Structure 1
Amino acid sequence: MDRFVVISGCSGGGKSTLLAELARRGFATVEEPGRRIVAEQLRAGGTDLPWVDLAGFARRAVTLAQQDRAAAQDQGGWVFFDRGLVDAAAALAFATGEPLDAALCAAHRYNGRVFLTPPWPDIFAGDEARRHDFSAAIAEYERLLATYPALGYEVTLLPKRTVEARADFLLGTLGATVAPGPARH
């Protein structure tokens, strides 16, 4: 799906802030599956949390990413995803030591260009949903930086600039400077 664009990369690198800016500009956006899972598991007292059961968390993220992608079919125009199925599948492979499910990722493609936020220590901060440290965030980033090209995606690193400048860069790279309207997911 050429209109489904993933913004991935280093945890704490500004992905969610960028997605909020794209939504403010009228583009459809999809919130990160992991954050939604953590919030739900914390409310329910569950254990499918990355710091308790990474494999269980990643399995949930794979399922939710597939559901998000299916739900986005109804959206018109560009749809921007805060992470996606590849991120979840990479986390599952890391957690279990099993090979990445490349067939699953191939069956649910996104735009061939994926945007990655590089490690940015100046803005990295932990919170209730992000309990890992910066070195763990870098390790995850490096796995994704290898995984996306291995699956045939072209990686574009987002510059360390203001959120507005990042949004302009991303939209300019895609040639998507005009939003279709106020549709949001």
Structure 2
Amino acid sequence: MSVSVRKTKKILLTGPPGTGKTAVIDALKELNYAVKEEVIREMTAALEDLNESDGINPLVIADDPLEFNKRLFEKRKEHFKQSATNEVCFFDRGLIDVVGYMEHFKQVYPPYFTTEIKNNRYDMVFYFEPWEAIFTKDEERLETFKDVLSIDDTLKKCYHRLDYDFVVVPQKSIAERTRFILNMINV
């Protein structure tokens, strides 16, 4: 008698800030899908509490940006490992995003980041492109739309360089975007 082991489908939602990823993650969560939520807001909020500067991205002004990004990378890797018990798991950003943002901010990352990314591959990536109509700044999102366009360019280059193709999510309602993703992964 053979037992088939079913691998978790790890589905990554990515793109620059303010493009609707988290709204879709919330919709997937409402539909009872396993999700791993974005950890950066929690980390940047804690850092901002310690920082007196206003209007500057905390990833750039952290006392030790490399250490901050290592912690972020480890939290995202932990999310990846924790997803093994789910049939399908959706991620609001992933390991590659850490490298992409570090490249955007001209920060050097350790070589093991690339190794870990290659060893912990997502099964499918959905990319949310800049959409000015829904973009808003808030207390944790400090980027301008011009910044978003620049981050978008860096992220796309990073994903391609690390051998990832992605599916662009259409700029539609949250429900339509969610349905699009679910149809694409056949669930």
Q: Same fold by TM-score, threshold 0.5 exceeded?
A: yes
CA-CA distance at 1:39 after TM superposition: 2.6
Counterpart in 2 of 1:179?
none
Counterpart in 2 of 1:167?
178
Letter in 1 for 2:59: P
Mapped pair 1:78 → 2:88: yes
Counterpart in 1 of 2:58?
49
CA-CA distance at 1:131 after TM superposition: 0.7
CA-CA distance at 1:57 after TM superposition: 3.5
Task: Flag structure 1 segments of 5+ consecutive residues without an equivalent.
Answer: 177-185
CA-CA distance at 1:98 after TM superposition: 5.3
Please say which structure displays the higher CA radius of gyration: 2
Counterpart in 2 of 1:181?
none
Task: Flag structure 2 segments of 5+ consecutive residues without an equivalent.
Answer: 1-6
Correspondence for 1:92 among 94, 102, 126: 102
Contact 1:37–1:60 at 8 Å: present in 2 too? no
CA-CA distance at 1:69 after TM superposition: 1.2
Alignment map for 1:17-166 (pairs within 5 Å)? 17-43=23-49, 45=50, 49-53=58-62, 54-74=65-85, 76-95=86-105, 96-97=107-108, 101-111=113-123, 113-166=124-177
Contact 1:10–1:119 at 8 Å: present in 2 too? yes
CA-CA distance at 1:170 after TM superposition: 0.6
Helix, strand or coil: the match of 1:154? coil
State how far apart, in whole Å, the 2-side matches of 1:131 and 1:138 are: 14
CA-CA distance at 1:30 after TM superposition: 0.9
State how far apart, in whole Å, the 2-side matches of 1:94 and 1:58 are: 13
Let me know the Cα RMSD of the aligned residues: 2.2
State how far apart, in whole Å, the 2-side matches of 1:55 and 1:139 are: 21
State how far apart, in whole Å, the 1-side matches of 2:103 and 2:181 are: 29
Larger displacement relative to structure 2 (58-67 or 82-91) = 58-67
Letter in 2 for 1:13: T
1:43-96 alpha-carbon deviations (Å, 9 max, x no partner): 5x269922523544322211211111122223x211000001110122234441
Aligned positions, number = 173
Note closer, same or farther for the CA distance 1:42–1:36 as it changes in structure 2 (3 Å cut). Answer: same
Note closer, same or farther for the CA distance 1:56–1:128 as it changes in structure 2 (3 Å cut). Answer: farther
Larger displacement relative to structure 2 (56-65 or 5-14) = 56-65
Counterpart in 1 of 2:13?
7
Which ranges of 4 or more aligned residues in structure 1 deviate by more than 6 Å?
A: none
State how far apart, in whole Å, the 2-side matches of 1:38 and 1:99 are: 21
Counterpart in 1 of 2:3?
none
